[in-house]
Amino acid sequence: MTHTPAPTDPAPTQPTVPSEETDGLVCAFLLDGQGDARQVGWDEVRSWTPDKGEIWIHLDYTHETSARYIREESGVEPIAADGLLATESRPRTIDFGTAVQVTLRGVNLNPGQRPEDMISIRCWIEPGRMITTRHRRLQSIDALRQRVTGPAKPKSVTELFHLLADRLSARVDDAVSAIDETVDELEEAALDDATASGRGIERELGRMRRRAITLRRFLAPQREALNALQVGVGPFTDRERAHLREIVDHNLRILEDLDATRERAAVVQEELMHRASDQMNRNMYMLSVVAAIMLPLGFITGLLGINVGGLPLTHSTNGFWIVTGALVILVAIQVYFFRKQKWL
């Protein structure tokens, strides 16, 4: 995608676009249906009618002005208004005949944030108008704004939604691919005994599995939400529904890749755990063999060390060497016996 610079301020005769920090309006674009678009402010948002063209309104739902517009001025269904302003949401689609309310999620690519901490984007799509709301910044929306102001502008709000869904899926695909590549590297490292001796690989694999689980928690219902748009809900054309079907298939492939990656990480983790368990069992076995060999030696030396009369070789100058030789012979007999029994 070609990134173009942000549009310059409009001519003085056009309304000034207010900033999102003061009134909750992140951006709004009026499409003329011929491939041209211009940015507008609250005045034109409030006075919009279908005969003026199609409009995309993007709001910060936490701002009071945005909430008042959605509930009192926009004319959207009350249930949809609740969905657009909900602080907690999951991917879903609600059909209102010719209109539809869709909630989707995108990976969090903001600096210092975790991609699996997904950001909600809430959409109201009706003939000629699309309202989207968010609180945290979503880079897929930034890319959509660049598309609207770029050379290949979308001609309708339904085309805008298709582009938004496509970009959300593409960025999720990138996040899943990054997890898959990390698991590949950890799997290769696990094949090296020297590298796999520590617990660093296991901890990293556990972190990748948790990321995959978190992503799947939202991607599965998101696929269902997009899939619902194929059955005739909303103002989409047959061509746009075909494009949405491709996005649904893309999401299905992402889910399959995510499941495969999670299972591979689990297999590698189990292999490392089995390897550590086998090493511990071998160490315990060797300690047991050594203890079995030393047990009779300890008994004999303890018996000879008691301070009573009548001990053999007490007055012999060669007594120490005789006892030592006898103990060596006993150890040799034990080792031979253990090897014959395949215990050593």
Strands (E) in 140-238, as ranges, are none
User: What pLDDT shows up at residue 147?
Assistant: 87
Q: What is the 3-state secondary structure (H, E, C) of 142-203?
A: HHHHHHHHCCCCCCCHHHHHHHHHHHHHHHHHHHHHHHHHHHHHHHHHHCCCCHHHCCHHHH
Please report, as a single letter, which amino acid is at residue 300.
I
The total of other beta-carbon atoms located within 10 Å of residue 121's CB is 23
CA-to-CA separations, 331 to 293, 302, 313, in angstroms, rounded: 7, 16, 21
Region class of 112: left (phi > 0), else alpha (psi between -120 and 50), else beta: left
Q: Which has the closest alpha carbon to 240: 128, 169, 157, 171?
A: 157
- Read off the DSSP letter of residue 196: G
Given a cut of 50, the residues of the chain with pLDDT beneath it are 1-21, 195-196
Q: What is the pTM of this model?
A: 0.73
User: What pLDDT shows up at residue 194?
Assistant: 52
- 164-222 per-position pLDDT tens digit: 999 999 999 999 999 999 998 888 887 775 544 556 788 888 889 999 998 998 899 99
Give the Cα separation of 324 and 320 in Å (integer).
6
User: What pLDDT shows up at residue 22?
Assistant: 53
User: What pLDDT shows up at residue 64?
Assistant: 93
User: What pLDDT shows up at residue 103?
Assistant: 94
Region class of 44: left (phi > 0), else alpha (psi between -120 and 50), else beta: alpha
User: What pLDDT shows up at residue 33?
Assistant: 75
Residue 256 backbone phi and psi in degrees, to 5 = -65, -45
- 8-48 per-position pLDDT tens digit: 333 333 333 344 445 899 999 999 877 788 899 999 999 99
User: What pLDDT shows up at residue 120?
Assistant: 92
